[in-house]
Homo-oligomer: A and B are copies of this chain.
Amino acid sequence: MTEKISKRDKQVMKSLEDVGHEIFKQIQKGDNPTYELPVRNLNNVFFDEKSKTIKLGDKKSERQFINVAHSRKFMQTMLVAAEINKVIRESATVSIRDLYYALKHTIADTNENTFEEQGESDPIIEDIEASVNLLREELHLSASSKGVIAGNMKIKDGKDTIDLTKMGSGGWGVPSNVEPDRIEIKDLKAEYILFIEKDAVWKRFNEDNFWKKNNCIIITGRGQPSRAERRLTQRLHKEFNLPVYALMDADPWGMYIYSVIKQGSISLSYSEESLATPATKFIGLTTQDVETYKIPKEVTIKLNQGDVKRLNEMKNYPWFKKKEWQNEFDNMKKKNYKLELEALSRKGIRYITETYLPKKMKEEDFLP
C-alpha cells in the first residue's frame, strides 16, 4: 500500500522528527522538556506591507512538560506530531476529525482521555503548522474543499490528466490538497482568473461558455472559499502570472470574501503567505454600478444594522484605505443599499456574462 515517499514528504517528516529529537535531548540532559511556538492571537497578527498579506508576528511562547498549566497540551502536541508523521509515512491524507478520533483514547491506568473533543486537537494542529512553518496540506491533513473550476488548462493529479475544458455543466471539484507535488498545472492557455463568489453565478458563466469566449479560468468557492481554492488561485497567479479578478456581491460579506482572497484572514495568518493573492482586483459588483449600469432600484436591498457596523469596521482596515474603496463604502452608506449579483438578471438572463463583465473588463473598471 505504501507508495514511494516523495522528497517533499521526507523534508516534512524531518521537520517533525527534529521536534522530537530536540525534546529527547532535553530529557537526556535532565532539563524540563520545552517546546517553543509562535503566539497565535490578535496581538501577534499584522498586515505586512511587504508581502501585502496578513501575517503572524515574531512573538513566541513556551510549552513546558513540567508545568501544571502546560503538561496536558504538551502531551497532546507530541501525540499529534507523532500521528502526523505516521500518516505521512503511510502516504495517506486524513481529515482533522480523523486525526482527533485516531488519537482519542483513555490513558492506561487512568480515567484521563488524551482529548475530550475535537476543539482540543484542532488548535494543537494549528500550533504545529505555525511552529514548523508548514501548510496543513504538507502535513497530509485535508481541509474541506467545496469549490469547482473550469477553463483552458489541464491538471495532472496522480496518474490522471484532467482537461478542464471538458467538464460539461459540472466543473471539476477542487480537491483539498493542490500542492505542487500533488497537482501539476499543464497546458495553461487561459489569460486570467475570474474568482466568482457564488455557485449559481459560476453556473451562469459556465453555461454561457464565458471561459471559452473570453479565454479565462472560472472558479468558485461557493461562498467563503476554502484553503484549496485560494491556494490554487495563488499558484496560477505566481507560477503563470495570471491576473485575478474577483466577482462578488456588492455587500459587506462579498467585500470581506474579496479581502480574504486578496490578503488573507486573521485566523489563518500563519499560512497566508501561501494562500492569499494580493494582486487580486475587485471587478464587481459595486453600488456605483447601480447608476453606471442603470440597475433598477427595486432590486437593491436596504442595509441593516449589521451591514452598517461591518462597513464602518472595514473602512478602518489598512488594506481598504485606498480612496476607491473609501468612496465605495461611503456610497454604500449614503445610498443605504447593497445588491446581489443575481440582481443583474433584472436586465436580462445573460446580461452579466454578455454585457456587464465584458464592459467592466474593457474599461478596466476595477477596485484595487
Contacts from A to B (Cβ < 8 Å): 1, 87, 90, 92-95, 97-102, 104-106, 113, 142, 144-146, 148, 155, 157-158, 160-162, 166-177, 182-183, 199-200, 203-204, 207, 222, 296, 298-299, 340, 342-346, 349-350
Give the complex CA separation of A116 and B90 in angstroms: 57
Given A97-B200, A146-B199, 8 extra CB contacts under 8 A: A92-B350, A94-B349, A97-B340, A145-B199, A160-B166, A161-B166, A168-B183, A170-B173
Nearest 4 CB-CB pairs, A to B?
Answer: A157-B168, A169-B175, A95-B200, A170-B175
A342 touches B98 (CB 8 A): yes
B166 touches A170 (CB 8 A): no
Q: Which of B90, B158, B169 contacts A157, CB < 8 Å?
A: B169
Give the complex CA separation of A87 and B207 in angstroms: 13
A345 touches B102 (CB 8 A): yes
Given A92-B207, A162-B166, verify A173-B175 contact (CB < 8 Å).
no
Query: How many copies of this chain are found per oligomer?
Result: 2
Taking each of A142, A155, A342, which has the highest tally of chain B beta carbons within 10 Å of its own beta carbon?
A342
A-B contact pairs, 22 of them (CB 8 A): A90-B349, A94-B349, A95-B200, A98-B345, A99-B345, A101-B345, A105-B346, A145-B199, A157-B169, A160-B167, A160-B168, A161-B166, A162-B166, A162-B167, A167-B172, A167-B173, A169-B183, A170-B173, A171-B173, A172-B172, A172-B173, A176-B203
Given A98-B342, A167-B160, verify A87-B173 contact (CB < 8 Å).
no
Cβ contacts under 8 Å, A173 to chain B? 148, 167, 170-173
Taking each of A101, A106, A162, A199, which has the highest tally of chain B beta carbons within 10 Å of its own beta carbon?
A101
Interface residues of chain A: helix, strand, loop or mixed (majority): mixed
Give the complex CA separation of A200 and B350 in angstroms: 36
A298 touches B94 (CB 8 A): no
Cβ contacts under 8 Å, A158 to chain B? 168-169
Given A200-B95, A342-B101, A350-B92, verify A174-B182 contact (CB < 8 Å).
no
A175 touches B168 (CB 8 A): yes
Q: Which of B105, B146, B174 contacts A146, CB < 8 Å?
A: B146
Find the B residue at minimum CB distance from A200. B95
Cβ contacts under 8 Å, A171 to chain B? 173, 175
Cβ contacts under 8 Å, A98 to chain B? 200, 204, 342, 345, 349
A203 touches B93 (CB 8 A): yes
Give the complex CA separation of A162 and B171 in angstroms: 10
Find the B residue at minimum CB distance from A202. B173
Cβ contacts under 8 Å, A93 to chain B? 203, 207
Give the complex CA separation of A168 and B157 in angstroms: 5
Cβ contacts under 8 Å, A299 to chain B? 101, 104
Given A166-B161, A200-B144, A342-B97, verify A87-B349 contact (CB < 8 Å).
yes
Cβ contacts under 8 Å, A145 to chain B? 199
Chain B: minimal CB distance from A311 (Å): 22
Give the complex CA separation of A162 and B167 in angstroms: 6
Cβ contacts under 8 Å, A177 to chain B? 169
Cβ contacts under 8 Å, A95 to chain B? 200, 203-204, 342
B166 touches A174 (CB 8 A): no
B105 touches A298 (CB 8 A): yes
Give the complex CA separation of A344 and B320 in angstroms: 46
